[in-house]
Structure 1
Amino acid sequence: MSDDADRHAAKMAKKKAARDKIMATKTDQKGLVIVHTGKGKGKSTAAFGMIFRHIAHGMPCAVVQFIKGGMSTGERDLILAKFAEECPFYTMGEGFTWETQDKTRDTEMALAAWEKAKELIRDPANSMVLLDEINIAIRYDYVPIADVVEFLAAEKPPMTHVVLTGRNAHADLIEIADLVTEMELVKHPFRAGIKAQQGVEF
């Protein structure tokens, strides 16, 4: 081996030893409250990635969609067609709020979705429950943030993961979460006149 290769190998060995030492201290497990928020694309996409990981590992999970009721999506169609037993999927909204233009109806639908979400989270058989676009329902006061925070703190089973997606996550939700990721918008084709595309956005 050359001197450069030797130096690289020694550097990587030292890095591995340090990493192994850190990993040896990480022994706890718990059900996480996970928040995906921000203006960038990828919040629901990343959340469904974890749902598909659960399905692949044979771990029961469930999805409640709070807003996206009016359109077919690839992830919903695939889960309903192939994995309905492993992952019950509930589309409880009727579309984006600017399309329905009926706050009373939107509130009723969001509260019904929240009741279904609580039922699924309480069930210890579910390892993960995804609450897709709940942050939007909270932002528009369809679902009270105090109820969400209190429920997650008091009633979520210790080993159940709950994933909450949508822009503008409430500060109180961020405060109690274990993992928060903010998707930052750098560039988006919509601004260049390109509409949402099948297989990319839905």
Structure 2
Amino acid sequence: MVSHLQAPAYSSSHSPYPIEGLVQVFTCPHRGFFTSVMAEALRIAGQGTPVLVVQFLKGGINQGIDHPMRLGQNLDWIRCDLPRCIDTPQLEEGEAQSLESLWQYTRQVVFQGQYELVVLDELSLAINFGLISESAVLSFLRDRPGHVDVILTGPDMPRSLLDIADQITELRRSHQP
């Protein structure tokens, strides 16, 4: 379960108790566990906290950075502007550009302070496919505004991200199929 405290509107340097953002990892050996993370994002947005959900490997709905989906007043949901979902490291040039644009957009809006919770869905697969560099993600996490919570999802999360996570949730099946 994710808990989130909204940072005060004034600068945290004026607060004797600054609120530090957390890095949380949700991982599982298989895909398809996003529902619980999305439920948390919706709950937090419903409490008035600005939330961004970014799905790097999902496409197919003609969305992209120019057409984010707004769910309620506080939750923006954006996917890569692709006609298909990415399931391989081999991308056409336009697909690679779309993914890079989405990553740069995500960095830009987070560093501008537009969101207090950012969900980076299937980021581990994007890293493992070599589509987003692990070092770029580590830099992003290190340099983000201090109050921003980040949730990383995906199977086979790189060890370097697990090592800096404040919380790791590993989902597994409780029975054999």
Mapped pair 1:46 → 2:30: no
Match of 1:150 among 133, 139, 163: 139
Residue of structure 2 in register with 1:87 after alignment = 75
Matched-pair identity in %: 25
Return the offset for 1:43. Answer: 3.6
What SS does structure 2 have at the residue aligned with 1:147?
helix
The residue aligned with 2:60 is 70
Q: Which residue among 74, 94, 99 is the counterpart of 1:110?
A: 99
Could you report, residue by residue, the CA deviation over 1:103-160 in whole angstroms, capped at 9, with x for unpaired residues?
Answer: 544433322221122122213241101111111100101000011102211x211111
Per the alignment, in what secondary structure is the counterpart of residue 88 of structure 1?
A: strand
Equivalent of residue 152 in structure 2, options 160, 164, 167: 164
Equivalences, count? 155
Structure 1 stretches of 4+ moved >4 Å: 103-106
Q: Which amino acid aligns with 1:96?
A: C
**Partners of 1:116 and 1:152 in 2: CA distance:** 15
Give the whole-Å Cα distance in 2 for the aligned partners of 1:82 and 1:146: 31
- TM-score, normalised to structure 1, is 0.66
User: Does the 8 Å contact 1:128/1:160 carry over to 2?
Assistant: yes
User: Are 2:120 and 1:134 equivalent residues in the alignment?
Assistant: no
Greater Cα radius of gyration, structure 1 or 2: 1
Counterpart Cα distance in 2 of 1:142 and 1:99: 10
Secondary structure of 2:53's aligned partner: strand
Change beyond 3 A, Cα 1:157–1:82: closer
Corresponding residue SS for 1:112: helix
Give distance in 2, aligned partners of 1:59 and 1:93.
Answer: 26
Question: Alignment partner for residue 61 of structure 1, among 36, 51, 56?
Answer: 51
* Helix, strand or coil at the partner of 1:119: helix
* Residue identity opposite 1:165 in structure 2: T
Bigger share in helix:
1
Give the C-alpha shift of residue 42 in structure 1: 5.7
Structure 1 gaps, min length 5: 1-26, 73-78, 192-202
Q: For 1:93 and 1:185, how far apart are their aligned partners in 2?
A: 32
Q: Provide the C-alpha distance between the structure 2 equivalents of 1:185 and 1:110, rounded to a whole number of angstroms.
A: 31
In structure 2, list runs of 5 or more residues that go unmatched.
1-16, 63-67
Q: CA deviation at 1:61?
A: 1.1
More strand by share: 2
Quote the Cα distance in structure 2 between the aligned partners of 1:112 and 1:171.
26
